[in-house]
Amino acid sequence: MKGWQRAVIGFVIGISVAHVAHAAQSAKRLPKDAPTDRIIVKLRDGARVGEPVADARARIAAVAQRSGLRFELARSVTERLHSIRIERPLAGGEMKARLAKLAADPDVEYAEPDRRQFPLAVPNDPLFSRTPQTGQWYLTNPDAAFPAAIGAERAWDLTTGSTNVVVAVLDTGVLFNHPDLGRVANGGKLLPGYDFIGADPNGSFSTANDGDGRDADPSDPGDWISSSDLQNPVFSGCEVADSSWHGTHIAGIIGARTNNGLGVAGIGWATRVLPVRVLGKCAGYTSDIVAAMRWAAGLTVPGVPALPIAEQAWVINLSLGSPDPCSQTYRDTINAVRAQGVLVVAAAGNESGAVTEPANCPGVVAVAAIRHVGTKVGFSSFGLEVTIAAPGGNCVNTTGACLYPIVSTDNNGTTTPQPGNGMIYGGKLGTSFSAPIVAGVAALMWSRNPLMTADQLRERLQRTARPFPSDPAILSCADPNFVPDAQGNYPNSGNCNCTTATCGAGMLDAYRAVLSAANAVAIAPESVSGTAGQAIALDGSRSLPSPSGTALSYRWTIVSGAGATLANSTAAIASLTAPAGTYVVQLEVTDNAPTATIDRTTVTVSVAPAPSPSGGGGGALAPLLVLSLALVACLRRR
């Protein structure tokens, strides 16, 4: 949706959480280079805009005839981008040879595996508890006990969201009947949405699990995998598991009904959620996901009804992925979606190591998971591709109920959804649940300023992030010794101290991010230290004007502490010179927006005593040493 279209369109909560014991905290490893019987083919420009799928089928058939390969059209994403079904699953060298042969055809721009993408949760840890720690600690204001909490309470003082702002959740579907969700038409939070899961290669609907292909019903029928399911080649690489209700959990984090005296609070009190079903039993295909991304952004998808402007996404949440490099298919789709002004938020992955696709794609807001104390959760992927970090749930204990999960809307059905009392609130772990926290805050930012661009929003998410804390008992994520052993296990179960090179710009700060959407923001280190008598730098250069402003004026003042002096007090970087002690200095910034906005922050400065003139080590022996050297020199001259 373009900016001009947006301009026109213009908590005390009771929690009922089931209690179960949790399993060991290890994330499910995603199958890498798994065999697939589908390939994404992009035809060269030459197709007519709006070309019927039948014409595309003819072009695909011509490619098959020229290449001597056997395949058929499975589904179309655009007039030029198509998923084809080959005769059997391929991987490794066989797949590379097939792709090379297809890419050599003069009518093919590129060919890539149509890989299965998996929900990025820790599916064997349902983690329900009635203890106070399993409330929505991650939304509260940060303090010494919960430094990773995002401060949503203060953000809600600025805005509780807008019904005009839509977040698309591309996932397993949703449970429309959950009392904390419900349909918009009935006063709830969920728009009608769509189901993009098509037929399996064998013509069945085993993955879809709803008896049909693409349709206008994104309800979640359950995604359980039984031991008998594993006999079906469609589910190769899958594991026996109960239904996850993954999409329902994510929808609740972003937009559960808030301030209604029931269950949990959604980050956006008024934010609407567009449910788009792309993950079925065990997984979903890239071709379905990118088609859904385009549709949610208001772009045309062959055979799918156009999405009304008022329901088009401002933010797309992707809590899914595979351990592969970013494909050209995703790159093209993300570029097309971003051109529509849409922000794409994706979970970094639960691989402990490298960031997974699509979070590793350029232009995506990739979200890593941190523990309640602000260090990286063991399961979270990390790396340079990460944009920002947000709570992802952690347990600290190895037996009993998990202490710090991400609690949201859920269901207690192990296979199909259970009505009535089956609509519960559960706790889960994973970067899957870090991403919607960021997506929810992005929606609040746009609610406060719908004219802000996606790039401006992304920058402000990062610039307002709080610095990571450091635990001296564990390694830095960037430490050369923080590497996996021969079994793939990282030190300290994968927990490490985040850096800006491994976990993004910092910890998500909902209040500062939402403030920055329409206000100048004063940004400076929370604390600095130095030595008495020496100039100590105070850096406010990362401060931001409001989106409608272009420049800032600065004013530094000493709030507490005697004997200190300030230099360059009206510059972005000032300096403090003071005797030993503790000082508090305030930074005030004012922007040049048509209606000027002001913000303030404080810096605590710790000044240590200056070292003694003797250097601290020689003491009274130093003059004697000088005298001795002089005497030796004199004797030598004689």
Give one DSSP letter per residue of 304-338, joined into a string. Answer: SPPPPGGGS-SEEEE-EEBSSPPPHHHHHHHHHHH
Q: Out of 105, 125, 171, 195, pick the active-site residue.
A: 171
Q: Could you confirm whether 543 is annotated as catalytic? A: no
Are 207 and 290 in a shared domain? yes
In a domain, 388, yes or no: yes
In a domain, 627, yes or no: no
Are 107 and 126 in a shared domain? no
Token pair in block for residue 432: 């899957």
Answer whether 105's CB lies under 8 Å from 66's CB: yes
Q: Could you tell me the CATH number of the domain that includes residue 242?
A: 3.40.50.200
In a domain, 544, yes or no: yes
How many angstroms separate the CA atoms of 266 and 536, rounded? Answer: 43
- Coil vs helix vs strand at 11: coil
Residue-level pLDDT at 218: 98
Residue-level pLDDT at 253: 97
Residue-level pLDDT at 115: 85
Are 256 and 306 in a shared domain? yes
Are 434 and 573 in a shared domain? no
| pLDDT tens, position by position, 82-140 | 998 888 888 888 899 999 999 999 999 999 988 888 775 432 222 222 344 568 889 98
- Dihedral pair phi/psi, residue 424, rounded to 5°: -120, -170
Answer whether 56's CB lies under 8 Å from 73's CB: yes
Residue-level pLDDT at 89: 85
Confidence band of 618 (pLDDT split at 50, 70, 90): very low
* End position of a domain, from candidates 79, 114, 149: 114
Asked if residue 617 has pLDDT above 50, the reply is: no
Q: Could you confirm whether 432 is annotated as catalytic? A: yes
Q: Out of 244, 432, 434, 476, pick the active-site residue.
A: 432
Taking phi over 0 as left and psi of -120 to 50 as alpha, with beta for the rest, 92 belongs to left
Q: How many helices (H) and strands (E) does the chain have?
A: 11, 23
Are 313 and 194 in a shared domain? yes
Structural domain boundaries enclosing 562? 519-608
In a domain, 305, yes or no: yes
Amino acid identity for residue 601 in this structure = T
Q: Could you confirm whether 200 is annotated as catalytic? A: no
In a domain, 349, yes or no: yes
In a domain, 427, yes or no: yes
Token pair in block for residue 456: 């401006």
Residue-level pLDDT at 133: 56
* End position of a domain, from candidates 68, 85, 114: 114
Are 290 and 348 in a shared domain? yes
Q: Could you tell me the CATH number of the domain that includes residue 531?
A: 2.60.40.10
Write down the residue that tokens 């000032």 correspond to.
574
Confidence band of 393 (pLDDT split at 50, 70, 90): very high
In a domain, 635, yes or no: no
Token pair in block for residue 427: 């706790």
How many angstroms separate the CA atoms of 603 and 588, rounded? Answer: 11
How many angstroms separate the CA atoms of 326 and 334, rounded? Answer: 11
Write down the residue that tokens 């772009």 correspond to.
299
Confidence band of 524 (pLDDT split at 50, 70, 90): very high
Are 91 and 138 in a shared domain? no
Q: Out of 178, 246, 249, 372, pick the active-site residue.
A: 246
Q: What is the pTM of this model?
A: 0.86
Number of domains observed in the structure of the chain: 3
Are 125 and 213 in a shared domain? yes
Are 142 and 267 in a shared domain? yes
